[in-house]
A and B are shown apart, each in its own frame.
Chain A
């Protein structure tokens, strides 16, 4: 049974960071339903609001995302689902 999860991520705004996150989400068995990316004023950080769907435990996905080198923070957020 698939469930929908909202994620809020902070990433270093560097080359490849977004591709890595999206690739990890899909490779680990989730589908991206919505994604919104904002860059901070200094251009140093991406704030990514994502809504993903999958049958696997989203806590596992969170841990897979946390180990990416560019990822500074990952949180499961109900409001992120409204991205």
Chain B
């Protein structure tokens, strides 16, 4: 990258800690999430005089995941702070979560003084070393004069190209030292030169294809290529499928949209991909949850792979044409009508044949897929839904109507139980005008239940839907299906009364345990002005269907026995 813009720095002398905050302000940051402690105290002292809004979570993991939710929903940089030692290690799951899902995040950790580093001092861990595999880059700042430039560079790097988390470790003596700041030069945006030769080869493949499928990943929204993708899909009329993270990028109301593919994908999507002769893969990385057995995945298809990260092209599946760089530009260059009427009709037929799969089972038990679909329609397409991990996460993916990007926050890559509530807190702070709904399970909510206190403290109007089946549902489902019903440590029937728990945190709550209560529950959830928790008791035997068994291809989906 070529440096062209010089950021003016003053001749002021500030402490390293003050330079941290000045750099964040200059980078456009206005909200940070964190938790104080010994080694980060100089930064917290400087915060007293700073215009930055600090959000105190009740655990550092909550801070990192809230920063993640803030970034995903708002499209801005998420920032989290923690002290050294356990504060820093508690951030790591959130940092890894951001790495796996390409979320722009800046984590700033306090560190013991430089003279104590490497001596096993109190609350000293090598978080720089521990985080190396899960950061885009990281720094230990050893001179207060470098603090401003490092924070600016870190903030820029986290958001450039393929976004990701970065970490800055700040020793306490550096945070306390006075210095003038070394000037920092903003890198010019890297010019993306389209590969015209590859583009032409891609056009040839597209014109020849008889059964093409557009395969949409989370990289589309990250690259701000949502409009270009929709224009491409409309121009070509290609049947379109989405990964878990890609949901919302494509138009769900198009007759050619087939839904999510993969392990819990919709049959129409999986069958169309299986039979395709060309995949146009945009911002997706052939994750194993999407592909099933890789050597049986779209085995007869050629591949055009578009991605912002050249390292993803050909990583797991050979690309006949790789287009690395500006996704929107490439999509515009490829958008032309195709003659695939018979294939389109076949895929529309698949979609109709397999339906929306929300038929209510007998009885008056709450049926989660129907509740979630009904809630999504009532909340509208501007609503943000933050999920936890488990069966409810897949039901949301299958049954929520995602009309836009940055509306679905889900821990897709790392599968972090406990993600939903802090992510919803971050999303609500990043997007105060939007309705934010957290869909959680009785296992997941307990992983970060302390963040109910954060919700209450800031009066955030997050609506929590807690689907309680009294067990670890996804693990139970796998033990039922693949371990001959040998259930091992999945029973959570001794859960606390979650409505009472919420009330103890000062949060309005109520319980729903029958289908005929759902309409009123949804109305109450959406009408409540402050935070609210709706505790929904569901059938503990309910499973997520369809399911691609481990080691099978996506065409070998298991369905619920009649």
The residues of A with any CB-CB pair to B shorter than 8 Å are 15-16, 19-20, 23, 27, 57, 59-60, 63-64, 66-70
Contacts and interface: CB of A to CB of B under 8 A. Distances in A.
B306 to A, nearest CB: 16
A70 B157 CA distance: 12
A81 B525 CA distance: 65
Contact of A20 (B132, B310, B311, B314): B132
B315 A23 contact: no
Contact of B137 (A23, A57, A63, A69): A69
A16 B128 contact: yes
A9 to B, nearest CB: 15
B551 interface: no
A68 B161 CA distance: 12
A60 B133 contact: no
Q: Which of A15, A63, A68, A70 has the most CB of B within 10 A?
A: A63
Contacts of B315: 60
Given A15-B140, A69-B137, A69-B157, A23 B132 contact: yes
B275 interface: no
20 contacts: A15-B128, A15-B139, A15-B140, A16-B128, A16-B132, A16-B138, A16-B140, A19-B129, A19-B132, A20-B132, A23-B132, A23-B133, A57-B314, A60-B311, A63-B310, A66-B310, A67-B311, A69-B136, A69-B137, A70-B137
Interface string B296-338: 0000000000000111011100000000000000000000000
Nearest to B129: A19
Given A19-B129, A20-B132, A67 B310 contact: yes
The prevalent SS among residues of A at the interface is helix
Contacts of A66: 310-311
A59 B128 CA distance: 28
B309 to A, nearest CB: 7
A67 B314 CA distance: 15
The prevalent SS among residues of B at the interface is mixed
A4 to B, nearest CB: 21
Nearest to B142: A15
A36 B314 CA distance: 29
Contacts of B309: 67
B222 to A, nearest CB: 15
A57 B319 CA distance: 14
Nearest to B166: A69
Interface string B154-166: 0001000000000
Contacts of B311: 60, 63-64, 66-67
Interface of B: 128-129, 132-133, 136-140, 157, 309-311, 313-315
* Shortest Cβ-Cβ A-B pairs, 5 listed: A69-B137, A63-B311, A64-B311, A67-B311, A23-B132
Contacts of A57: 314
A18 to B, nearest CB: 11
B139 to A, nearest CB: 8
B554 to A, nearest CB: 24
A60 B314 contact: yes
Nearest to A20: B132
A15 B141 CA distance: 10
Contacts of B128: 15-16
Nearest to A59: B314
Contacts of A69: 136-137, 157
A57 B138 CA distance: 28
A71 to B, nearest CB: 11
Given A23-B132, A66-B310, A69-B157, 6 more contacts: A19-B132, A23-B133, A63-B311, A66-B311, A68-B137, A69-B136
B505 to A, nearest CB: 40
Nearest to A56: B315
A43 to B, nearest CB: 15
A24 to B, nearest CB: 8
Contacts of A15: 128, 139-140
Q: Which of B132, B309, B314 has the most CB of A within 10 A?
A: B132
Nearest to B314: A60
Contacts of A60: 311, 314-315
Contacts of B139: 15
A60 B313 CA distance: 9
B141 to A, nearest CB: 10
Nearest to B140: A15
Given A66-B311, A69-B157, A27 B133 contact: yes
A29 to B, nearest CB: 11
Contacts of B157: 69
Contacts of A67: 309-311
A45 B217 CA distance: 37
A27 B310 CA distance: 18
Nearest to B128: A16
Q: Which of A15, A16, A23, A27 has the most CB of B within 10 A?
A: A16
A58 to B, nearest CB: 12
A59 B314 CA distance: 9
A64 to B, nearest CB: 5
A64 B140 CA distance: 23
Nearest to B313: A63
A58 B309 CA distance: 17
Nearest to A67: B311
B81 to A, nearest CB: 21
Contacts of A59: 314
B168 to A, nearest CB: 12
A57 B136 CA distance: 22
Contacts of A63: 310-311, 313
A18 B309 CA distance: 22
Contacts of B137: 68-70
A20 B140 CA distance: 14
A50 to B, nearest CB: 18
A63 B305 CA distance: 15
